[in-house]
């Protein structure tokens, strides 16, 4: 159960990620991980979409692609940053972003051990499937570090955290 709600300040967090550069077009390039703090989003409108895992069927085929397809619509609504988070390592997240064709449009952030998601009460225990603790499937709209929208999927599939629903809430 989420411990934050609309109107709350976004809890601080730090994520690892590999910024996209043209060098990453080379399939053998790996990039260099760096960090990003949620504090860097002060004064910005940010959409955070969280998935249980990169390359997993629903996340890979149904959840992330519509965000890229509707990227221009998000920008038209004043969104400065779209970020997808998962508990996968930054190299996997970068590889997933490259396969999805995200380039520099959507950040692929690693929520190491789902620590930030857990601090929000948004972790998902998939130990019974051999995946351990993951980030749950959710979406958050943040404006100047204030949560404007937060919804968590109650079961399989993509509804309240999908691109269409988030666009409607902007």
Mean pLDDT value of segment 136-142: 95
Mean pLDDT value of segment 138-159: 94
Reply yes or no on whether the pLDDT at 129 is more than 80.
Answer: no
pLDDT at residue 90 in the model: 96
Reply yes or no on whether the pLDDT at 1 is more than 80.
Answer: no
pLDDT at residue 92 in the model: 95
The larger pLDDT score, comparing residue 91 to residue 129, is at 91
Residue extents of the structural domains in the chain: 51-169
SS3 label, residue 9: strand
Looking at domain 51-169, does it have CATH number 2.40.40.20? no
Q: Residue 51 — very low, low, confident or very high, per pLDDT cuts 50/70/90?
A: very high
Q: Residue 124 — very low, low, confident or very high, per pLDDT cuts 50/70/90?
A: confident
Q: Which residues contact 42 (CB under 8 A, 6 or more apart)?
A: 144, 145
Q: Residue 55 — very low, low, confident or very high, per pLDDT cuts 50/70/90?
A: confident
The single residue of 59, 68, 86, 120 carrying the catalytic annotation is: 59
pLDDT at residue 127 in the model: 72
Task: Provide the whole-model pTM.
Answer: 0.93
The candidate with the shortest Cα–Cα distance to 123, out of 136, 106, 138, 110, is 136
How far lies 92's CA from each of 1, 97, 99, 151, in Å?
27, 9, 10, 25
Q: State yes or no: is 30 an active-site residue.
A: no
pLDDT at residue 131 in the model: 76
Residues 83-94 have pLDDT tens digits of: 999 999 999 999
pLDDT at residue 59 in the model: 75
How far apart, in whole angstroms, are the C-alpha atoms of residue 156 and residue 170? 24
Question: Is the dihedral angle over the CA atoms 23, 25, 28, 29 positive or is it negative?
Answer: positive
pLDDT at residue 22 in the model: 95
pLDDT at residue 3 in the model: 86
SS3 label, residue 41: helix
């Amino acid at each position: 159960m989420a411990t934050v709600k609309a109107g709350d300040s976004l809890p601080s967090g730090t994520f690892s990620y590999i910024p996209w550069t043209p060098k990453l077009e080379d399939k053998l390039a790996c990039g260099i991980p760096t960090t990003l703090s949620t504090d860097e989003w002060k004064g910005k409108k940010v959409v955070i979409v969280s998935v249980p895992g990169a390359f997993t069927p629903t996340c890979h085929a149904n959840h992330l692609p519509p965000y890229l397809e509707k990227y221009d619509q998000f920008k038209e609504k004043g969104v400065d940053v779209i970020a997808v988070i998962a508990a996968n390592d930054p190299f996997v997240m970068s590889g997933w972003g490259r396969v999805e064709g995200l380039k520099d449009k959507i950040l692929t952030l690693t929520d190491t051990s789902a620590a930030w998601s857990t601090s929000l009460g948004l972790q998902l225990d998939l130990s019974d499937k051999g995946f351990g603790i993951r980030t749950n499937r959710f979406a958050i709209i943040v404006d100047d570090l204030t949560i404007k929208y937060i919804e968590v999927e109650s079961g399989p599939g993509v509804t309240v955290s999908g691109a269409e629903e988030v666009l409607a809430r902007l």
